[in-house]
Amino acid sequence: MATLSDVERVMGGAAEKRQVGNETWYYYPRQPFGRKTFVARIAPDGKLAAIEQRLTDENVARIVPNTTRAEQVRDLLGPPYIATQFPRMDRNVWTWHMRRFGDPGVPVALNVQMSPDGVVREVYLIDESDSDPRPGGLSLGIGIGFGL
């Protein structure tokens, strides 16, 4: 069974480490062009429990506006590619680049907006097909948002 040192030999150093339950999670973002973030979940005995791709439609669906907290988003998706504050809007916005509908899927920017109390208020998926560097990248012009 693989260990953390095996994971680090293959994946390199983690961008972030978090304690989630009784496991330690190591995050490996491949942003912005990789559009993926992997988490290596290490069990208390130091063995690899799983490696998971976190930027998925299923995980985005778990983010519930006015309920989910910033720490839960961070555990779920890992560190954002960009974290921005908008004082006039009274919002902190975390952005990841991902693909909807699997890989190759549709390239999108996921924006999660939080109020100063750390509660998610809005979630936006913005189509980035026009900026997709892949030959023949899709151009659907779709923007999806949910929140307040």
Tell me the domain boundaries of the chain: 4-147
Beta strands in the chain (DSSP E): 16-20, 23-29, 37-42, 48-53, 82-86, 91-100, 106-114, 120-127, 143-147
pLDDT in tens, 71-127: 999 999 999 999 999 999 999 999 999 999 977 889 999 999 999 999 999 999 999
% of the chain residues with pLDDT over 70: 88
Bond preceding residue 32 cis, omega within 30 of 0:
yes
Residue 47: DSSP 8-state: B
**pTM for this predicted structure:** 0.84
Percentage helix, strand, coil, to 5, in the chain? 15, 45, 40
**Tokens representing residue 7 in the block:** 């994971």
Phi, psi of 77 (to 5 degrees): -110, -15
**How far apart, in whole angstroms, are the C-alpha atoms of residue 51 and residue 27?**
10
For residue 143, the model assigns a pLDDT of 52
15 DSSP assignment? S
